[in-house]
Structure 1
């Protein structure tokens, strides 16, 4: 019969042997060609050592501040009134001659670690056309749209939602912007999104289904095609429903307009819009290549339903929910993409979509999906990224700036410790070269996070700012990253204001 003290000494002996292995063979021991991995003793106390790191304390403090902002916003259950923009000039040309109407800062982002936006040599004014629009008061009467493309790091409206709220709170506007017919990546942070009927998704990235027969994927690099039982002449019915989320940002819940982008339907299709069950409008129109359907509804509407009756094969490239003016920021997440698939999209069709949406700024946030790729160098990625950026710029007016957000820190486990992927700085450098060569601004996310091996700090922060896959931000971490990016934009806007004032002083 085994006595309890036998068990105790047996287990104690095991722990002592493991401790000795950790001390004398940190990292592991070879036994006849077999590698027995053993964590170092310091790994057991890693959390204790990290908790006293000053960078972690700063990160945790910033996370708590951003979390408090979110909680205060959630308490504002009613839609806020539009910001008072009466003091802004309506004419951008008058800014240099009347500095009283220039607001010094873009956002209130005090006490945020600052990582500046970088530019190609001699192009420090690259973002000025966008800033000029903001300062001129154009958002008071028209819609200024920002497209934010990215990989899984921005899924579910993460990062984008914080950026959108900052812009809409300052300059007006509302709504989540551009959305797909069906949500492919789980519940959004911004709105409740449901769809009925049979839909099939086709993407220009990831696993491409070439049976689609064309490359008209639209501005979201993906489309949804209506399908239904029966032959090719069958008539399909489907609905798309959006409900406001009372826990989303208050400004986001203020939208009054919808536009739906459709195509691949030579026969007449019918689209009806219902606001809280009341019919707001109905349109019947063929859409062989690209057609836009638009509706308006009251701001206090809680639920919007789009009902489609159309021939099988009808395609939806996306729909927008915006206010009549102000700022719109679109979240376009491309899971698994490294930003190398835009040239797979039909340029004529995509340009037509951009002409309807009229974006004034593009943000491209990729790079993470290249990190697992092992290569001697990453010039191939830089060349391909340059090609993709140049393609997008060729479809837009020349005064639409592009900001490339570089790869952030990502960790893998080696010898029991999480360390950065060894190729991150090489990928970062190639992304910056490609951005500068294409005439774009660049924001270094890796540097903003704290540099290589900073991801464990984001994971260890309380509350956590990154998930335990050591790759993705948590929702809170995404808001922190968004705040850091806003701080960088704010610095550039202040520089723009200073240049305007210097110009005014020179004229007097």
Structure 2
């Protein structure tokens, strides 16, 4: 059927027409420099004249001059008021002749309609790129600003966000409160009724069901969302927040639909390729829109000769080309990283008919760029990029000036074909702003608005009947009166009410963005707060982020109502209890930062997360950069390991060695701090090298400590420090009666040092490890981890040996990171873990002079069932319940790595992330994953430290400890 007609006259067909904005606005949007064109003599004279005169007579003369020049038969570019039909004359004259100071210090109002037609929605100014203050680094290496203290009431939707995303969400929550914006729930409505009139399935059900399948790992295809809208969607500032959050919670399926090149001369490139200059562009919003050719994608990109466009495809494995198959059409060569991949013929089978068509290709793993090069005349509509794995894909198509009526211009068959090709789980319709504008200007009626939205909802439901659909209301907007007063614009509430009703009648869910923003007058408040552009229609980047935040949390609340947590335990994010548990540590860091020559020791005990060194290396880097580096600390004896290379540490075993660990041995026994000992036979050699290839630092002094076992009736090992043989040990006053841990300390000079140990002839040697510290202030952080161990493993090691070695490390802070392996124990004794872990912490704190303590919980841990589906580790819920209580009872701070990862099923999402963050075993992380987790920990630790500095002096400060 033909598209409905209304009072709207489309804009002219000129391609790539710039939105109405100042040159400075456009330069800010593009992120490029802008050299304004030279002003005509008429402009210069007029501006000089205005600057020199401000009296009423001058204003009158200026208006007359402006009118005269604008109506005179001179070139259009010379006119002070080009095309007087562009908009309300009074506003144009006011903007031209009244100084900004007379208008509240703000720039002149932008025209309310398109520059080419009084009846066409403007091509709006899109929100500018984020300013530096809008986004901070993931890890603060300088003074950190703690997150705002905002009540994050459980249930508003903040669950399952990783630490950096949650920190940003908390900031947006603080902004929401300041702006009186509201959490507004989605109205699900009913899409399928029973015979008795009750609702069998609501409007969101297919989408929420698909997300649940991703969550339970029963879905092997992506969950796609198609989001259609106007300029608010074209900027991708609202939808990018929603996309990022959904992909973080449920996994990413890829970038989704992208235009061939940017369909307007301003705005962001994020949802398009970067095309050559010769593409001819026709849009549904244009006067001669591409009839009988384009579906909901809305834009046709035509090449009459060779043209190309490039896409960043890192992480993508599947691409699909959307094009028009037509008679005598040409071809498109697809190339990956400069190498031909596949040629797509766009010629249709019919000799007379054109129709929407698609070509799907596989992208080689590791590909970085995909290039499309045309040959002959072709018409392309876009490209989709996907990872080929389960996850969320969020397509956005925003048309500048878009309305329900504009999307109804799409050729019905193409609309249906393109929508069905995407197989969406949900379609979102976000228009209404331009409808409200036309209604406020009496250029349309509410009946026409209702009829157009009814038809668009009907078309979506008919074309993809199994998909959820959701209608969003327009947001609030404002206008300036002739007197310069800012007032709410008429029409937003009326259009919102119509959309709510049509969503209900059409079986679509509805979200009231107008009320979420704050209702009538919100646009004026947002302008005052810098969240709105001067046009009073479009939010700036931060305002758009807030709208995306509110919509995302509404979606998450809807999901939570129908999907109970698989691990029903509250898992709070952030560093908990630090204010009372870590005052001495924070005071020492404060004094160190103020210039005192202090050493701050941190010893982290744990399992493989600690033993891998990736996490501790990243945290150590942040802390030493800020507070100073006092040395690498303890390194266990053992084989060569690539995990130590980033820290410039090297190990080597030569000869016959056996590396033993406490996990595989009977309880008791003398072990090094990591639960490891290296036992060598006569003549075996061990080498540990610190700060390998570091620059010379002759003025730097320090000490190198060797940890080993002295055994009765055996000769002492031969020890070399930096190639120099050390003198033999002096005889002990009394012969050894049993093996004993011995710590030998050697003064050293410089940054790089090497200790070598050789077993004497006739006897062996047992080495536990070595440590390097410098005689300079700063942080020393020891990583004391044994793969596969639990808190029970540390408990079972000889207490005297552990306590004496740990005391020698002089920690101010003990960090315990156990729990991930305990979560995998099907027969875990939760009461025993509480009792034994608490006793262990008490004992080690006493041995180290009452060092402060911090407990870290488990990462998210999954395991595969018989059907290869990922399920929660059997004791994960128990561990998540026990460890925070153990920390509270022991007077320790607590930090949840699982919450920082994003909570429930975070491991599944980290496995599917690009780059991959979660290991395929469902237990460990990749190096990139550990580094990201360390960034989250460092952020929370330093935020708590900064908060502590603002508090009153503690007893530790006042007594000088």
The normalised TM-score by structure 1 is 0.67
Structure 2 unmatched ranges of 5 or more: 1-209, 211-216, 227-241, 253-571
**2:900 maps to which residue?**
448
Q: Write out aligned runs for 1:155-170 (5 A).
A: 155-170=611-626
**1:383 maps to which residue?**
835
Aligned CA distance change for structure 1 residues 147 and 502 (closer, same or farther; 3 Å): closer
Check whether the contact 1:128–1:496 (CA below 8 A) recurs between aligned residues: yes
Q: Deviations over 1:362-401 (max 9, x none)?
A: 1111111122222487333223322322232232212x11
**1:129 maps to which residue?**
584
Secondary structure of 2:921 counterpart: coil
1:176 to 632, 641, 646: 632
Q: Write out aligned runs for 1:88-237 (5 A).
A: 115-119=573-577, 124-137=579-592, 141-183=597-639, 187-188=643-644, 189-190=646-647, 191-204=649-662, 206-208=663-665, 215-228=669-682, 236-237=683-684
Check whether the contact 2:709–2:741 (CA below 8 A) recurs between aligned residues: yes
Q: Deviations over 1:398-434 (max 9, x none)?
A: 2x11111001111223555434335423211111122
Q: Write out aligned runs for 1:39-54 (5 A).
A: 42-45=219-222, 52-54=243-245
Aligned CA distance change for structure 1 residues 153 and 225 (closer, same or farther; 3 Å): same
Aligned CA distance change for structure 1 residues 405 and 250 (closer, same or farther; 3 Å): farther
- C-alpha root-mean-square deviation of aligned residues, in Å? 3.7
Q: Deviations over 1:321-377 (max 9, x none)?
A: 222232111111211111112232333333322332211111111111122222487
Check whether the contact 2:795–2:836 (CA below 8 A) recurs between aligned residues: no
Check whether the contact 1:256–1:297 (CA below 8 A) recurs between aligned residues: yes
Aligned CA distance change for structure 1 residues 126 and 465 (closer, same or farther; 3 Å): same
Check whether the contact 1:223–1:317 (CA below 8 A) recurs between aligned residues: yes
Aligned CA distance change for structure 1 residues 406 and 290 (closer, same or farther; 3 Å): same
Q: Distance in 1 between matches of 2:601 and 2:656?
A: 31
Q: Deviations over 1:284-307 (max 9, x none)?
A: 345743332222434353x62423
Task: Measure how far apart 1:146 and its partner are.
Answer: 1.2
**1:472 maps to which residue?**
924
Q: Distance in 1 between matches of 2:614 and 2:939?
A: 17
**1:484 maps to which residue?**
936
**2:154 maps to which residue?**
none
2:915 to 453, 457, 463: 463
- Residue 403 (structure 1) aligned with residue 854 (structure 2): yes
Secondary structure of 1:167 counterpart: helix
Check whether the contact 2:837–2:886 (CA below 8 A) recurs between aligned residues: yes
**1:342 maps to which residue?**
794
Q: Distance in 2 between matches of 1:405 and 1:194?
A: 32
**1:308 maps to which residue?**
758
Aligned CA distance change for structure 1 residues 145 and 261 (closer, same or farther; 3 Å): same
Aligned CA distance change for structure 1 residues 155 and 46 (closer, same or farther; 3 Å): farther
Aligned CA distance change for structure 1 residues 307 and 207 (closer, same or farther; 3 Å): closer
Secondary structure of 2:625 counterpart: helix
Q: Distance in 2 between matches of 1:370 and 1:255?
A: 42
Q: Distance in 2 between matches of 1:468 and 1:388?
A: 32
Secondary structure of 2:931 counterpart: helix
- Residue 242 (structure 1) aligned with residue 689 (structure 2): yes
2:710 to 264, 267, 272: 264
The normalised TM-score by structure 2 is 0.37
Check whether the contact 2:680–2:759 (CA below 8 A) recurs between aligned residues: no
Check whether the contact 2:652–2:687 (CA below 8 A) recurs between aligned residues: yes
Q: Distance in 2 between matches of 1:250 and 1:47?
A: 57
Q: Which has the higher contact order (CA 8 A, sep 6+)?
A: 1
Task: Measure how far apart 1:473 and its partner are.
Answer: 0.9
Residues matched between the structures, number: 392
Task: Measure how far apart 1:48 and its partner are.
Answer: 10
Secondary structure of 1:193 counterpart: strand
Q: Deviations over 1:216-274 (max 9, x none)?
A: 2242233223323xxxxxxx45231426456x9999xx995311122323455254334
Check whether the contact 1:265–1:313 (CA below 8 A) recurs between aligned residues: no
Check whether the contact 2:861–2:922 (CA below 8 A) recurs between aligned residues: yes
Q: Distance in 2 between matches of 1:502 and 1:321?
A: 32
Check whether the contact 1:187–1:193 (CA below 8 A) recurs between aligned residues: no
Instruction: Find the structure with the greater CA-based Rg.
Output: 2
Check whether the contact 1:198–1:227 (CA below 8 A) recurs between aligned residues: yes
1:424 to 872, 876, 895: 876
**1:322 maps to which residue?**
773
